[in-house]
C-alpha cells in the first residue's frame, strides 16, 4: 500500500509522465516541445500560451493540455530539456 506522501509525489509527476509519453507517441509534438524548451523562459511561456490556446480551440484533450501546461514552470521545463538531452526522447 502506498503512503500518502508517495501518492502525492505520483500525482505531482503525473503531468510530466504524460508529457513524455505524448512526446514519444507524437513526432510533431516532440519537435514542437523541444524547440519551445530551447527558448528563453519568457518566449517559452508566450509560445506555450499561444499553442495551448490553439489546442483549446480545437478541443484537444484535457490530458494533453495538462501535460503541456507543466512547461510553464521554469524548473520543470529545465528538467524536461535536460532529460531530453541526456536520454534523447525519441519516437519509439
Greater model confidence, 31 or 8 = 31
Q: Can you tell me which residue has the cell 530539456?
A: 81
The pLDDT confidence band at residue 27, using thresholds 50, 70 and 90, is very high
| Residue of 64, 70, 23, 66 lying closest to 44 (CA atoms) | 70
C-alpha grid cell for residue 17?
A: 509522465
pLDDT in tens, 4-26: 666 655 666 777 888 888 888 99
Amino acid at each position: 500500500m502506498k503512503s500518502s506522501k508517495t501518492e502525492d509525489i505520483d500525482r505531482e509527476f503525473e503531468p510530466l509522465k504524460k508529457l513524455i509519453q505524448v512526446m514519444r507517441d507524437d513526432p510533431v509534438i516532440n519537435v514542437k516541445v523541444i524547440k519551445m524548451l530551447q527558448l528563453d523562459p519568457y518566449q517559452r511561456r508566450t509560445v506555450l500560451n499561444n499553442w495551448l490556446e490553439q489546442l483549446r480551440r480545437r478541443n484537444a484533450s484535457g490530458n494533453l493540455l495538462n501535460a503541456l501546461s507543466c512547461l510553464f514552470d521554469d524548473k520543470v521545463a529545465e528538467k524536461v530539456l535536460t532529460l531530453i538531452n541526456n536520454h534523447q526522447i525519441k519516437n519509439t
